Structure 1
Amino acid sequence: MKKIMLKSTISLAVAMASSQIFAGGFAINEQSISGMGTGFAGRSSSADDASTVYGNPAGMSRLKSEQVSIGAAVLDAKTNIRGSGTFGGSTDGDMVPFIAVPMGYYVKPLSDQWAVGVGFYAPFGLVTDYESGFTGRYFANKSKVSVVTFQPTVSYAFNDKVSIGIGPTFNRIDGELTADTLNAATPGRNDGSVKIKGDDTAVGFNAGLLVQATDSTRLGLTYHSKVSYNLDGHTKIQGTGFSVFSGSKYDASLSIDTPESVDFSVTHQLNADWTLYAGSTWTRWSRLQQITVNNSGVPVQLGGSAGPIGTISEPQNWHDTWSHAIGAAYQLNKQWVLRTGFSVDQSPTNNTDRSPRIPTGDRKAISFGAGFTPVDNITIDLAVSYLKEEDTSVNLASATKGALNADYKNSAWGFGSAVTYRF
């Protein structure tokens, strides 16, 4: 029987967890199309429509009418890869397919002080899908993770200056990852593949404070809590290199926390036509120093001479990050408002541990948007953004997967639209 090195299975499980957290690397900020137009500057202080359920739940107190907002954004990422792996292969094609991000919100004022609302949005998500002969196929082939959140929310206004809001978040994670697994007897030939799937539902919360500091300046502070996940799933192996074990499944589990974040922003009404926005977000990525994965039932023949693989910890060594944004809106007339924004965003990864599943670096983005109100109770928001990341490198070496040395140039376009209806 040919020996198959299954350590890549463990690496896949580690990547599964990191992919869920590393949505910040391919950040899905698109929880609001009106906010997208200003580069998400003023995210926690603008409170322009029902999407404030996510941006700052205290902002519901500023919405004086019952309203619903429904929208979606699409992300079109481009990647240029130059590099090589030990066992050859290609670096053609884009690794990120077209991605759609839905969102929906509802807010109902109950009185001058109380308001309630609900939100449905995607706070994290990742899809990377390399061509079948990718030179780094032993480290990664496909990574697909989706996180969707449902958030019921309540807000209370102490007066016309200060309001607070809070709501629990119910978060559902689904992940699927694949990679080729090296046939130790004939490296690069008759290889097998490994697929890992897992899911979990966990609870967090979102809380905010909104202060009308002056007649023209509003301050917002929003806290998104950490969320603790305990994923249960399975590892499936297949391919000619796995002999009689092809098609077998083994239990896999891991526990991990997504980090908390704090957003502070300012909205300033310069005059009747111009509104200025600024904001910063801190995210506690340093929670992720390592990931511990538990696998059960792996046979000795797959684990190698050392026997079955049980518990393995792998370092990540991520650091806390800051993102900053500035933006502006111009009220062209009663029907049209024009928006723009610029943002910079740090990546939590480092040059030593960066993976081909999430090969991202620091980035900059410019955004443009518009709001069209054809009648008093309907607003259509449109937005477009362009994101450019710094060039990054992936340099990995493994006794069971060979080496990968690759340089990445990443960029992306985002397009969004939403409709708000006020009852």
Structure 2
Amino acid sequence: MNHNSKLPTIRRGFRTRLAVAVLSTFALPGAAMASAFQLPTDNAAGWARANAGTSLFPDDPTAAFNNPAAMSFFSGPVLQATATEIRPQAQFNGSTLDVDGNPTTGGNPNGFGRFKPFPNLAAVVPVNNWFALGASVAVPYGLASNYNASWQGRYFGTRTDLESIALSLSASFKLNDQFSIGVGVLGQRTKAQLDTMLDPNGAAQALFGLPLPPQQDDVQLNVNVKRNVSLGYFGGFVFKPTDLDTFGASYHSRVQNTLSGSYNLYGSAAGQQLLALAPLLDPALPTLNPNGANASARLDTPAYATVDWLHKFSDRLSLAGTVKWTQWSTFKNLILTSDGQTLVALPEHYRDSYFFSVGGDYKLTDQWTLHGGIGYDQTPTVTLSRDPRVPDGNRKLLGFGIGYKATDHIGIDLGYQHLFVGHTPVHLANAPLLGAGTMNGYFDDSGDVVSLTGTYHF
């Protein structure tokens, strides 16, 4: 057999696979919670209503970000602070095999299982009867998963931390007693840490047929990237056709982010030396530098639109419904560069997703109010792009909570929401540079949200 005749093919394959392998560490969440890593920007009452009605309930200052048009109907200035803890659960059931078809060593931990805090601050100040201003600090995107570095699926991801914090300013104009419009701008700060384990011996066997035993010289690849400020805009309208009905619609723009930072390698020296051999096969080939290097990836958060309706049945009972569309289909390519060189543009498979919910309030007394709701949240991911970082699936939502009006100025709300997800299938084949292993099975998913809100009416 003429091994030299295979060298150009091996070089081309190695170039593509090296780029895909590094890029897969950046993937969010196609290698990435509302769906994928999107989060509702809601208070405790909103979480308890399964996020129905968004900000149409009276004097809800989350309108400063969700739908600023509602601010024109406020009865007075309002300041609100919310602390939300989110805990997803995901337990893998199935097999992970190395390049030789042998089971991957290690345990099978729940990579989530910890409560992750997300804050929400909002303030609305009516200037007069027709004009109001608002401001907010919210977390519209967030994700946290952490598997230990020796778990059986380590070659498909270990640690993922993503958080986008948005600071917004908004204004609302009441055109008449039935109709208002609102607009706003936001500055979004995004940071991410993405770690995965490489199997250099398995890669050498998969790429070149070298008889090296897989799973022996693991190398940890850690990526840290961030974007300090990216700008976006949002707006909406509110229409009150009757004294008992309120209809609202809002739109949030896509926010473009180029995340910049670095990657580093840790672990087996022999494994790092194998990875460093790439330039010897092709001098034009970007390589994984054992000492680390610059890294940059484009991650645009999608545009989304929401339609809400609120009906007041009586002084005690109000019911709302929400439909939300998120344009995940714009997440088409993920581009990775290092030291000024483009490694690859990797196509993604995301699809637009929809969210539906119904929820409301029942006022027990002048001081105590019950909140509740149900919902359905569609995932944008597909089986071919789903992995342990976020084994996201379609989810059913059940929420409930209680509100207490301590004085004319102070209110407290406590909300709880449970997410029913069930079995989400995962069928993955790793890139050769990651060791060419496979993962087949499903994750048994669920989630819990606990939220506490304090509101002050001036």
Q: TM-score, normalised by structure 1?
A: 0.91
Shift in Å, 1:390 = 3.5
Q: Give the 3 Å change call, closer, same or farther, for CA 191–21 of structure 1 in structure 2.
A: closer
| CA 80–137 in structure 1, closer or farther in 2 if over 3 Å, else same | same
Matches within 5 A, 1:58-97: 58-87=69-98, 88-96=104-112, 97=114
- Structure 2 residue 440 is matched with structure 1 residue 416: no
Matched with 2:441 is 406
Query: CA contact under 8 A between 2:65 and 2:170: conserved in structure 1?
Result: no
Identity of aligned residues (%): 26
Q: C-alpha distance in 2, partners of 1:8/1:84?
A: 25
Counterparts of 1:12-31 in structure 2, within 5 Å, are: 12-19=22-29, 22-23=32-33, 24-31=35-42
Within 5 A, what are the aligned runs for 1:101-120?
101-120=118-137
Which whole-Å CA distance do the structure 1 matches of 2:31 and 2:178 have between them?
Answer: 36
Contact residue 82 and residue 91 of structure 1 kept, 8 A: no
Distance (Å, rounded) in 2 between the aligned partners of 1:108 and 1:21: 42
- Give, in whole Å, the separation in 1 of the partners of 2:96 and 2:384: 17
Q: Cα 1:176–1:20, aligned 2, differ >3 Å: closer, same or farther?
A: farther
Mapping for residues 226-237 of structure 1, pairs under 5 Å: 226-237=254-265
1:232 maps to amino acid? S
The answer to which structure has the higher strand fraction is: 1
Corresponding residue number in structure 2 for 1:301: none
| Distance verdict in 2 for CA 1:277–1:312, change over 3 Å | same
Q: What is the RMSD of the two structures over their aligned residues, measured on CA atoms?
A: 2.1
| Residue among 366, 379, 404 paired with 1:372 | 404
Q: State the alpha-carbon separation in 1 of the partners of residues 71 and 318 from structure 2.
A: 19
> Could you say which residue in structure 1 is the equivalent of 2:155?
138
Cα distance change on mapping 1:8 and 1:368 into 2, 3 Å: farther
For 1:304, the equivalent position in structure 2 comes to none
CA contact (8 A) 2:90 2:391 kept: no
Q: Once superposed, which parts of structure 1, at least 4 consecutive aligned residues long, lie more than 3 Å away?
A: 5-15, 19-23, 243-247
CA offsets per residue over residues 300-336 of structure 1, 9 Å max, x none? xxxxxxxxx8421223211111110001211111001
1:354: how far off? 1.4
Contact 1:73–1:100 (8 Å) recurs in 2: yes
Q: 1:362 maps to which residue? A: 394
Where does the alignment leave 5 or more consecutive residues of structure 2 unmatched?
1-13, 99-103, 202-211, 277-288
Q: Give SS of 1:210's match.
A: strand
Name the CA shift for 1:218/1:40 in 2 (closer, same or farther; >3 Å): same
SS in 2 for 1:35: helix
How many Å separate the matches in 2 of 1:90 and 1:263?
Answer: 44
1:166 maps to 183
| Aligned-pair CA distance for 1:292 | 2.1
Query: 5+ unaligned residues in a row in structure 1: which ranges?
Result: 298-308
Bigger Cα Rg = 2
Cα deviation for residue 154 of structure 1 reads 0.9
| Partner deviation per Cα, 1:385-411 (whole Å, 9 max, x = no partner) | 110113112111133331111310110
Aligned to 1:305: none
Residue 264 of structure 1 pairs with residue 280 of structure 2 = no
Hey, what does 2:220 align to over in structure 1? 193
Q: Quick one: distance in 2 between partners of 1:151 and 1:141? A: 33
Residue 52 of structure 1 aligns to a residue whose secondary structure is: helix
256, 272, 275: which one aligns with 1:242 = 272
Residues 1:290 and 2:323 are matched in the alignment:
no
Identify if the C-alpha distance between structure 1 residues 21 and 164 changes in structure 2 by more than 3 Å, giving closer, same or farther. Answer: farther
Instruction: Pick from 250, 255, 262 the counterpart of residue 298 of structure 2.
Output: 255
TM-aligned CA distance change 1:210 to 1:64, over 3 Å: same
When residues 75 and 12 of structure 1 are mapped into structure 2, their CA distance, relative to the original with a 3 A threshold, is farther
The residue type paired with residue 242 of structure 1 is Q
| Equivalent residue letter for 1:152 | L
- From 312, 316, 323, the equivalent of 2:344 is 312
CA contact (8 A) 1:14 1:292 kept: no
TM alignment of 1:313-392, pairs within 5 A: 313-392=345-424
Q: Distance in 1 between matches of 2:107 and 2:182?
A: 48
Q: Secondary structure at the match of 1:138?
A: helix
Contact 2:43 2:452 in 1 (8 A): no
Cα distance in 2 for residues equivalent to 1:30 and 1:8: 38
The residue type paired with residue 272 of structure 2 is: F
Deviation at 1:238, TM superposition (A): 2.0
Q: Structure 2-normalised TM-score?
A: 0.84
Q: CA deviation at 1:291?
A: 1.6
- Alignment partner for residue 166 of structure 2, among 131, 145, 149? 149
Contact map agreement 2:182 2:237 (CA 8 A) in 1: yes
Offset at residue 213 of structure 1 (A): 1.3
